[in-house]
């Protein structure tokens, strides 16, 4: 079964082809970062228009790369949400048009399901059940993943997402947009112990997070000192150390609470080197293993959507052709 994946939830047009017997055949990405950078953030209308410009050429390139044609496709998976409405509509309407013209199914995928299944694209995928730490620009959640489609939320951020905290802090330090990668690069040569920043909710005993206070602590600090290059590096390193301490502590707590040993870290912040190092050390000491997508599949991409679509398709094909429901509340009708 050959599945075309389409991701257009925010500022990346991601297209991929996943084959259920031979794996990922092609993936293409166009990032709009340069276009939005001059505005300091994503401009939704510009994002939608750029997806419209890019999507069909990217699909053609992916098909060409995989030596396939439209007629070889068996299904089309697209990001149904969450995301920017206009941007989502571009992917959804292209998926609908193609699926109708080729007479094949169209599968709407939850963007976060795409992220959390992305490590399963790797050569040694984690076995179910596992804990997933989802750390992106819009979400920070700990989930228990029992199997495809069976997810239980264990905790989440009460305010800013981890990526959002990286980006807002980077903005305070004048590091441009999106600042997460730039901040973490600077942090590599900074002193993480120079400033003692708070580790919010680290003693809360639950699995929730809160990062807006950390960003405010950086704002207050940067207002009281004259920022020079060394200071910016040290603030970046101290901020990163605080956020990584909290993320690793809570991920380990989730493993302990659920009595599991396998952890998946997914989403854009999963590309962070310091997070990966500290998480590996802590989880390995505990006797567990950490699974990541490859760096390029941490941030938004079409491969994770094509893969999630293929998994959904495989699952649906194993279900009986019909079912009955003895109990069926009207609210569950969709
Ligand atoms: O998953 P993603 O591409 O988009 C969402 O679904 O939100 O994540 C993007 C986020 C941004 O906030 C970006 O700054 C952050 O991931 N990010 C990083 C790194 N690379 C991307 N944050 C910290 N360190 C990185 N190396
Ligand atoms: Zn994402």
Taking the CA atoms of 115, 19, 323 and 80 in sequence, report the sign of the dihedral they define: positive
Q: What is the crossing angle of helices 44-65 and 85-102, to 10°?
A: 30
Q: Is the CB of 268 under 6 A from ligand 1?
A: yes
pLDDT the model gives residue 321: 74
Among all bound ligands, the one having the nearest atom to the CA of 33 is 1
Exposure string of 293-308, with b = 16+ CB inside 10 Å and e = fewer, is: beeebbbbbbbbbbbb
Q: Is the pLDDT of residue 111 over 90?
A: yes
pLDDT the model gives residue 33: 93
pLDDT the model gives residue 332: 76
Q: Give the bridge partners for 289, in sequence order.
A: 262
Residue 176, number of CB atoms within 10 A of its CB: 16
0.85 surpassed by pTM: yes
Digit-coded pLDDT (tens) for 296-308: 999 999 999 999 9
Atom number in ligand 1 closest to CA 139: 7
pLDDT the model gives residue 28: 98
40 pLDDT tier (thresholds 50, 70, 90): confident
pLDDT the model gives residue 328: 85
Q: How far is CA 114 from CA 43, 267, 321, in A?
A: 24, 9, 26
Digit-coded pLDDT (tens) for 304-323: 999 999 999 988 877 777 77
Cα 115 to ligand 2 centroid, rounded to whole Å: 7
pLDDT the model gives residue 324: 82
Whether residue 310 contacts residue 285, with contact meaning beta carbons closer than 8 Å, is answered with no
Whether residue 283 contacts residue 263, with contact meaning beta carbons closer than 8 Å, is answered with yes
pLDDT the model gives residue 20: 95
Cα 111 to ligand 2 centroid, rounded to whole Å: 6
Cα 15 to ligand 2 centroid, rounded to whole Å: 14
Residue nearest to atom 3 of ligand 1 (CA): 299
pLDDT the model gives residue 334: 56
Average pLDDT (187-207) is: 96
Residue % of the chain over a pLDDT of 90? 90
Ligand 1 pocket: which of 14, 166, 187 to mutate (most atoms within 8 A of CB): 166
Least confident residue range of 131-135, 154-158, 326-330: 326-330
Q: Is the pLDDT of residue 50 over 80?
A: yes
Angle of CA points 265, 268, 271, to nearest 5°: 65
Q: What is the crossing angle of helices 212-224 and 162-172, to 10°?
A: 10
Q: How many helices (H) and strands (E) does the chain have?
A: 10, 10
Give backbone dihedrals phi and psi of 318, rounded to 5 degrees, phi first: -85, -10
Nearest of 140, 147, 157 to residue 275 by alpha carbon: 140
Residue % of the chain over a pLDDT of 70? 100
Atom number in ligand 1 closest to CA 112: 6
Cα 315 to ligand 1 centroid, rounded to whole Å: 30
């Amino acid at each position: 079964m050959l599945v075309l994946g389409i991701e257009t939830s925010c500022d990346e047009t991601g297209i991929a082809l996943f084959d259920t017997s031979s794996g990922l055949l092609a993936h293409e990405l166009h990032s709009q970062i340069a276009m939005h950078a001059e505005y300091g953030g994503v401009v939704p209308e510009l994002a939608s228009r750029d997806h419209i410009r890019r999507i069909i050429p990217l699909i053609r390139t992916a098909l060409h790369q995989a030596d396939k044609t439209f007629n070889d496709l068996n299904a089309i998976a697209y990001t149904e949400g969450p995301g920017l409405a206009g941007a989502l509509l571009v992917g959804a309407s292209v998926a609908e048009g193609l699926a109708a013209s080729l007479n094949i199914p169209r599968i709407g995928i939850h963007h976060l399901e795409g992220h959390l299944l992305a490590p399963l694209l790797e050569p040694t995928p984690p076995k179910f059940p596992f804990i997933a730490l989802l750390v992106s620009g819009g979400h920070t959640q700990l989930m228990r993943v029992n199997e495809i489609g069976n997810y239980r939320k264990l905790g989440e951020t009460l305010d800013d997402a981890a990526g959002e905290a990286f980006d807002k802090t980077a903005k305070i330090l004048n590091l441009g947009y999106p600042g997460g990668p730039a901040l973490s690069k600077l942090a590599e040569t900074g002193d993480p112990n120079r400033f003692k920043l708070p580790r919010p909710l680290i003693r809360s005993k639950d699995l929730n997070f809160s990062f807006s206070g950390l960003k405010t602590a950086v704002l207050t600090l940067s207002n009281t000192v004259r920022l020079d290059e060394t200071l910016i590096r040290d603030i970046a390193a101290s901020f990163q150390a605080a956020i990584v301490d909290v993320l690793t502590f809570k991920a380990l707590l989730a493993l302990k609470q659920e009595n599991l040993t396998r952890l998946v870290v997914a989403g854009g912040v999963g590309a962070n080197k310091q997070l990966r190092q500290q998480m590996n050390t802590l989880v390995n000491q505990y006797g567990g293993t950490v699974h990541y997508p490859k760096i390029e599949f941490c941030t938004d991409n079409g491969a994770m959507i094509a893969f999630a679509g293929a998994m959904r398709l495989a699952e649906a094909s194993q279900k009986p052709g019909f079912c009955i429901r003895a109990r069926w509340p009207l609210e569950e009708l969709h």
